[in-house]
Structure 1
Amino acid sequence: MRKVLLTLITVIGLIYIFLIPEEPVGFKIAMKLVPMILIILYGATNTSRVSSLYKKTILVGLVVSMVADAAIYWFMAGLATFFVAHLFYIFAFRTASRKSIPLFAAIPLILYGLFMVIWIAVPQMASGELLLGMAIIAYILVLLVMGWVAIRTRLPLVIIGSLLFICSDSFLAIDRFVIELPARDALIMITYYAAQVFFAASIQSRLNLLPQYDTTLNRI
């Protein structure tokens, strides 16, 4: 069953990305949601090896993300809804966090966040779009927290999914606010759908219960 769902997710996702026209918008949105419905079903069919709470929270995050997929056509509404979805993912990943991670591991995420704030959010505020700029900063922050908590789980599927989500949102932000990207839909949606599949698949992950670091200096 799960293999069938993965095949359907891949096929319908590619059909949406490469074959579905922009108009009519209602049909475009409907086709965009079909892979997410299948991803939710895929997650629901996976046996939880982390915890039942983890599975339930991931599934709620997927459902909220699906709502955000439709709301993103009204950008601020979509941004706010994805913000909420990331809060569910953060909560889920925190329930699976079993390892202390050295502080230096967060440096790439921090540098990325600062770069995106300077490149995208600051110019929006400088042009008078203060609310939009602040919303972008808040979203970057929650995205980075999601990525960091994902790394702390040390679950490969979660980490890969979070990095793919960050890539997808980065492509979307660059295309919308900086420069139009070639193959925009493919870049954004392939990484996005893949991220959600990895999150759904992570429900089956086994926690690695290795001893934690003894020093408190490296904890974050």
Structure 2
Amino acid sequence: MKRLHLIALVIFFSILYIFFIPEQPFLLKISFKIIPMILMILFVYLHHDSNNPAFSKWLLLGLFFCMLGDATLHWFLLGLSFFLLGHICYIVAFSKVKVKTINAYIAILLLAYGMLMVAWISGNIFRTGNYVLGIAVCCYIAVILTMGWSALQTYSPILILGALSFIFSDSILALDTFITDIPMAHVLIMTSYYSAQLFFTMSTLKYSVARKKVLEL
């Protein structure tokens, strides 16, 4: 299947899920939720960069674990665990295309944001007495910010956009779940989430083209 056809299908099914699929029946909702992820996994599998197989392999694993997270997020800790594994895979993938360490000021901003989210969200959870969930959320925040830090070290605009979109999506999800209802939360969360995964998916083309140009020289 051609690349543009697959990308168009990802966008189509993402819009379909976000705006048109009802909450019930539940199985239908979950099935349509993971269709864009299945298509993105297929995209990376069919169009991965043979010159950098490690990057493509870990990216593929990240997409797969995130798909499992999508399917099981209604069991929150289980879904969170799959997403955590997905982010670890992304961290490893980004390490394969790392350029250099990011500016210290940017690292401080990421750390400050992480500490704010831990204090606000996990602190609110701890006050309810649910310490297991609170610790799990702390770990998740640390891992997703490490993923963002790793993406920044690639100096790749498409990977950085993907990481920032993912952080935004999860931030809205956390605030809406544990702090207060956010208007249009579902649209904000899923639009930024699918965008993040699509940016990651399309990055395989970016690195493939770059490496082919180097080889031609």
Residues 43-192 of structure 1: matches in 2 within 5 Å?
A: 43-48=44-49, 51-192=52-193
1:47 and 1:83 map into 2 onto residues whose CA distance is 23
Could you say what secondary structure the match of 2:161 adopts?
helix
1:50 and 1:157 map into 2 onto residues whose CA distance is 19
C-alpha contact (below 8 Å) 1:50/1:205 kept by paired residues: no
Deviation at 1:166, TM superposition (A): 0.3
Deviation at 1:24, TM superposition (A): 0.9
C-alpha contact (below 8 Å) 1:43/1:203 kept by paired residues: yes
Identical pairs, percent: 40
Higher relative contact order (CA 8 A, sep 6+): 1
C-alpha contact (below 8 Å) 1:40/1:63 kept by paired residues: yes
Deviation at 1:184, TM superposition (A): 1.5
2:141 and 2:165 map into 1 onto residues whose CA distance is 14
Deviation at 1:81, TM superposition (A): 0.8
Residues 201-220 of structure 1: matches in 2 within 5 Å?
A: 201-206=202-207
2:45 and 2:161 map into 1 onto residues whose CA distance is 20
Could you say what secondary structure the match of 1:181 adopts?
coil
CA gap of 1:74–1:47, structure 2 versus 1, over 3 A, is closer
Could you say what secondary structure the match of 1:205 adopts?
helix
Aligned residue in 2 for 1:23: 24
Q: Deviations over 1:43-76 (max 9, x none)?
A: 2233417611100110111011101101101101
Deviation at 1:7, TM superposition (A): 1.1
Counterpart amino acid of residue 162 in structure 1: A
RMSD of the TM alignment (CA)? 1.4
Q: Deviations over 1:59-117 (max 9, x none)?
A: 11101110110110110100111001111000001111121322222122111101111
C-alpha contact (below 8 Å) 2:63/2:197 kept by paired residues: yes
Could you say what secondary structure the match of 1:67 adopts?
helix
Normalising by structure 1, what TM-score? 0.91
- Structure 2 residue runs of 5 or longer lacking an equivalent are 212-217
1:13 and 1:118 map into 2 onto residues whose CA distance is 33
Could you say what secondary structure the match of 1:100 adopts?
coil
Judging by fraction of residues, say which structure has more helix.
Answer: 2
Normalising by structure 2, what TM-score? 0.92
